[in-house]
Amino acid sequence: MAQDLMEKIVSLCKRRGLIFQSSDIYGGLSNTWDYGPYGVELKNNVKRAWWQSNVYERNDMFGMDAAILMHPKVWEASGHVENFFDLKSDCKNCKKRFKAADLKDKLVCPECKGELTEARPFNLMFKTHQGPVADDASLIYLRPETAQGIFVNFSNLLDSRHPKLPFGMAQIGKAFRNEITPGNFTFRTREFEQMEIEYFVKPADADKYYEYWVELRHNWYLGLGLKKENLRKRPHAKDELAHYARACTDIEYNFPIGWSELEGIANRADFDLKQHAQFSGKDLQYFDDAAKERFFPFIIEPSGGVDRAVLAFLTDAYHEEKVKKDTRVVLKLHKDLAPVKAAVFPLLKNRPEIVELAKKIAADLKKSFVTTYDDTGAIGKLYRRQDEVGTLYCVTIDVQSLEDKQVTVRDRDTMLQERIGIDKLKDYLLGKLKGCS
């Protein structure tokens, strides 16, 4: 059933222009995905909703956008050069590669029963070279997380904006990990996007703000429509914690592959700033004016994946409904996330006055929210297409519209239809979309 759901989602994404296999015409680059016309809207809407609630609606948050390429010493300070390893085993027979942690039997290939090599460490960072000479001095990494771009800008923020604790820095951007076992559609890929916050607090306040962010981030997903029963918090056991973390909770979603991490919230203590202070030789302490003391703030880090969030929202929104004898597939995405807010159709495309009026209405709506115009099928087909990408409202212009200056507006979820005057249409839809970020 679950695998079936994943297949249906992958197929819908391709069919309707949400997500395509990368480099498809060359046979595809495995586990790499491109977002198509509707997919990029959905993904942008997820990022916009995150930025809205975490940056624009707060007084204590600063946005930023760091470069993907960073000084190689960053990754020594962060511990990634030394510790960002997975153990891998290769099958001597079928040549498949496995993450040792996933193997029940460490000696035998789970696919062909061939002999496995001994588990060997494998650094997950992508390496490249900067400049024309590919030597050790030019070695550079594609960042495996966006977080370090924030830590190295901590003192720039202090000097330019003079924030008082607690405050945070927020960033959305690409990260790269040479995962041993990517897969499950966009769940685990080697190139992905992260939405990360580093929230700096007084050490004594760290536990309080850790709990606060776990709740806030959990509720953000619920607020955007994920079903409560599909979302859970999983605190890490002590032996699961990274060496620097005091506490960590995963927000897990019930993906078609089972409960898996959507976002992690960690109390990283003062590890990161101390490391960068030591490796850079710069003073990265915070000066508390009132108490007249200098110290390293503790850091609470909510770190989520954009692609995993998109996959969770798609999975949760996917519905099949019986309508008369047919099955209606509909993405019941939250109104903030729906890629298209309204679609406009002429009922008869061989009547130029109707087509012209429909195009005029679409052009006007497009100035206020994402609207699409479509006249490439019969009305039933047009509705079906829009339902499958979660379009909120379908507006149909018919013969009668030419006389009574009214159009039919159909609601995605209830499928109820209403006649609305053309002069009131935009306000009517804006009223429905009120609060959309």
Question: Which residues are at the interface with ligand ATP (CB under 6 A)?
Answer: 145, 177, 179, 188-189, 192, 194, 261-264, 303-305, 307-308
CB of 242 to ligand ATP, least distance (A): 9
Please check whether residue 206 is in contact with residue 298, taking contact to mean a CB–CB distance below 8 angstroms. yes
CB of 204 to ligand ATP, least distance (A): 25
Closest CA to 258 of 6, 43, 32: 6
Of 123 and 194, nearer to ligand ATP (C-beta) is: 194
Peptide bond into 166 cis (omega under 30): yes
CB of 30 to ligand ATP, least distance (A): 14
93 Cβ neighbours under 8 A, 6+ residues apart: 109, 112, 114, 115
Helices and strands (DSSP H and E) totals, the chain: 13, 23
Question: What whole-number distance in Å separates Cα of residue 23 and Cα of residue 191?
Answer: 14
Residue nearest to ligand ATP (CB): 305
CB of 248 to ligand ATP, least distance (A): 8
Of 143 and 410, nearer to ligand ATP (C-beta) is: 143
CB of 182 to ligand ATP, least distance (A): 6
Question: What whole-number distance in Å separates Cα of residue 254 and Cα of residue 260?
Answer: 7
CB of 185 to ligand ATP, least distance (A): 10
Of 70 and 433, nearer to ligand ATP (C-beta) is: 70
For the record, the structure tokens of 105 come out as: 């039997």
The dihedral of CA 2, 5, 9, 11: what is its sign?
positive
Of 146 and 406, nearer to ligand ATP (C-beta) is: 146
Of 145 and 198, nearer to ligand ATP (C-beta) is: 145
Closest CA to 273 of 183, 169, 172: 169
CB of 259 to ligand ATP, least distance (A): 12
Do strands 167-176 and 191-201 pair parallel, antiparallel, or not at all (unpaired)?
antiparallel
For the record, the structure tokens of 37 come out as: 């016309």
Q: What is the largest CA-CA distance in the chain?
A: 78
Helix (H) or strand (E) holding 120: strand 120-123
Of 254 and 303, nearer to ligand ATP (C-beta) is: 303
CB of 416 to ligand ATP, least distance (A): 37
Of 31 and 386, nearer to ligand ATP (C-beta) is: 31
What amino acid occupies position 333?
L
Of 174 and 208, nearer to ligand ATP (C-beta) is: 174
For the record, the structure tokens of 256 come out as: 């078609």
CB of 258 to ligand ATP, least distance (A): 12
Of 150 and 425, nearer to ligand ATP (C-beta) is: 150
Question: What whole-number distance in Å separates Cα of residue 350 and Cα of residue 33?
Answer: 39
For the record, the structure tokens of 272 come out as: 């990161």
What amino acid occupies position 168?
G
What amino acid occupies position 394?
C
Of 143 and 334, nearer to ligand ATP (C-beta) is: 143
Between helix 352-366 and helix 422-432 the angle, nearest 10°, is 40
∠ CA 127-130-134, nearest 5°, is 75
Helix (H) or strand (E) holding 37: helix 37-51
CB of 221 to ligand ATP, least distance (A): 12
